[in-house]
Structure 1
């Protein structure tokens, strides 16, 4: 049976029940008891950590749109799209990260499209939650609840994690609240899984199942190192390969949501690829990991910082970069205007450059930087007359590849292969992930149409 990546959608009808764990009288040490008659235990650490893990129940209506074939519209008339609404309920997990302000972090896919969100605390209280903001590309959402007698989980520096470190996953798999599993960090910087737009996952063999979405991955000190988000296995079952969003990445995104109400991604302004053995041999490189820079955009943060095509980016703020995807995810999670220091390898020499990141949400780029078929147009973030956000086409060159596929000045691209896109960076991500024939969903005035890239 083929293995597939499965979102941990928590649609479960099993009634929740609390799993109690015996606690040691000594909570001073992370997991050892001072009673010589007792064996080593994680109970003292869990006694402090588990009150910060909550159950999240959601209700809402999922809206699906299907384009009506032109033939049917010609004979029967009617709207361009058929709209269907289906009510849904679901369960997931969350982590209290600020007890005084009532901030709870979970996955975006747990609360996406939810009209009502209820948080159940470990003491049995049920409180309503408000979504302050979310980021679908990184699968992070921030909720706020009444800050009454809450316990928060302290954050660890996830950049200090090492493969082999012991970790514990806490969440509500299949509606079974406060379930604890243990394992190790199996790998770091995992990407290329097609789970989300920005992938820089911690991989662990701690058992993670449906309903663990948004739960905590903690260290033996009881500190949050990651937010559980996905599993890799047949039929969505646990096979010891789970993934979590690093706590540092989560915190950067949450800080932006708190400050701006949205994520304002940093933008470096480069194109590139992973460094592998083939590229290392062709370029006569003495490294086998990192991010190879193939192109630097004009007037970008990278150009202003002195980065050149052919450079290998080896680290960001002193933390090694394994792949281009990892670099991309780390840059995107940092806010616009952030100052970073990049380590480079250029013609055998190592150097450091300081870069101030641009703002990806205000990007205006030449379309050829996104996809060859779009060459000849300028792309910018904007909206349709109906208020749908997307990517606006402007300065279209006659007989260019973009014009040949049917684009016109003023068109707004709002989707790729039926996947909604809101801005230039989302368009780039969707086109990077798309394979084979690509269908662009375009708004032109009051009309909707699809343009095909082959």
Structure 2
């Protein structure tokens, strides 16, 4: 048994070095020699084989619209666009979450457009991986390898994290295999960063554990060696570590992976409300005793929310007993749960706390080439989508550079919510309006928190 003085000194060393333990872990003295310093090495030796290096090869395809003047000179047989292919290579990290089935989780941006994916294990084995599925809007991808004697990490409940908990990041920055850094949870529920892109589902863990290029897809673990996040991005002016890194919470990742395993894709849940963040000004105006939550401005007819009894003016404060701080956080949690999932929402209505159960609808989105809708929208691909405030509309899911749609001013992630002051909630509604309309069309576009108009003549 260590003396209190020795235990106090050991804990001080851990804190000064940026490392401490969860309340459930014992102080890490290892071996019989009391002169040994505290170390996380035994824990890391158990879990680092579950963190892999990922290398990819592929071809980046870009399309450039050919100006009409060239078509005039070279004749009608000239194609509408020029297609260019450029080979690329990339490096990243991944985490084995199921040793028996060979499932490896990583970021979508690590393996996007890859023709060849190779996973390298800590024992030197290199395995060809196949992509089971991915979700671009939450930046998660699931791979599978065929091998024996794999090591998987235990997935923890990231909803139990607190700011100040100590964490360890494991990955392959700059291609340097098995690099370990430590830090703390700096913040929770980081949203509206547009790291993944406009219209994405963000609910990041922020950490000061050093994360650099190549760490993407790697593991963020607690001091029990359990996975609590997938390292995804850094916030820095020059692309280097400045002590602000972001990870996708493990609970969010697991919800998405379960859908990919079951369906081969993410079947996103839909609540059917329009709203915004509850802040102190709104709380004061409505004489509400709380300052955080999701304020419901409108409930869509026949939606899951209406069937569950949610009303305009309600303030949603938790999902399945777990507090939420904003509408954006609610949107991310609902959007990463599968369609058909039953959730219990806690809400505040006229000063009273209520609980309602809601079965989520499916968020259906089908990509449509814009050339089918209007010549000046050519180069864009549209899909049913929603704004950050939950307003249904038509999202620009893809956009060709220098295309007519790009020249009009559209950008990827834009959501068209109106035409000539008429609400548009779906691709079908956009198509029906443009089919019967002639003349000038003013598109009401939501870009993040901004609202703007683009005019088609």
TM-score bucket (shorter structure): 0.7 to 0.9
Q: Given the superposition, is the C-alpha separation of residues 128 and 372 from structure 1 closer, same or farther in structure 2, using an over 3 Å criterion? A: closer
Q: Which runs of 4+ in 1 moved over 4 A?
A: 362-368, 397-400, 434-439
Residue ranges of structure 2 left out of the alignment (5+ in a row): 1-24, 367-383, 394-415
Instruction: Determine if contact 1:438/1:452 at 8 Å carries over to the other structure.
Output: no
Given candidates 50, 53, 60, the residue that maps to 1:52 is 50
Bigger mean CA offset, 61-70 vs 312-321:
61-70
Q: How does 1:108-187 map to 2 (within 5 A)?
A: 108-187=108-187
Match of 2:227 in 1: 224
Q: Given the superposition, is the C-alpha separation of residues 100 and 403 from structure 1 closer, same or farther in structure 2, using an over 3 Å criterion? A: farther
Instruction: Determine if contact 2:293/2:325 at 8 Å carries over to the other structure.
Output: yes
Match of 1:313 in 2: 316
Q: TM-score, normalised by structure 2?
A: 0.78
Match of 1:205 in 2: 208
Instruction: Determine if contact 1:60/1:87 at 8 Å carries over to the other structure.
Output: yes
Match of 1:248 in 2: 251
Tell me the distance in 2 between the aligned counterparts of 1:379 and 1:339.
25
Tell me the distance in 2 between the aligned counterparts of 1:111 and 1:94.
10
Q: Given the superposition, is the C-alpha separation of residues 438 and 218 from structure 1 closer, same or farther in structure 2, using an over 3 Å criterion? A: farther
Residue ranges of structure 1 left out of the alignment (5+ in a row): 1-27, 381-390, 408-427, 440-450
Cα distance, 1:70 vs structure 2: 2.9
**RMSD value over aligned CA atoms?**
2.7
Cα distance, 1:241 vs structure 2: 0.3
Instruction: Determine if contact 1:274/1:290 at 8 Å carries over to the other structure.
Output: yes
Whether 1:405 aligns to 2:441 is yes
Q: How does 1:20-419 map to 2 (within 5 A)?
A: 31-35=28-32, 36-77=34-75, 78-196=78-196, 197-361=200-364, 369-370=392-393, 371-374=416-419, 375=422, 377=424, 379-380=426-427, 393-396=430-433, 405=441
**Deviations 1:135-178 (Å, cap 9, x if unpaired)?**
00000000000131100000000000000000000000000010
**Deviations 1:281-322 (Å, cap 9, x if unpaired)?**
222221111111111111100111111111111000010001
**Deviations 1:356-401 (Å, cap 9, x if unpaired)?**
0000026989998424424355625xxxxxxxxxx7745438988x
Tell me the distance in 2 between the aligned counterparts of 1:399 and 1:271.
29
Aligned length: 383
Instruction: Determine if contact 1:314/1:344 at 8 Å carries over to the other structure.
Output: yes
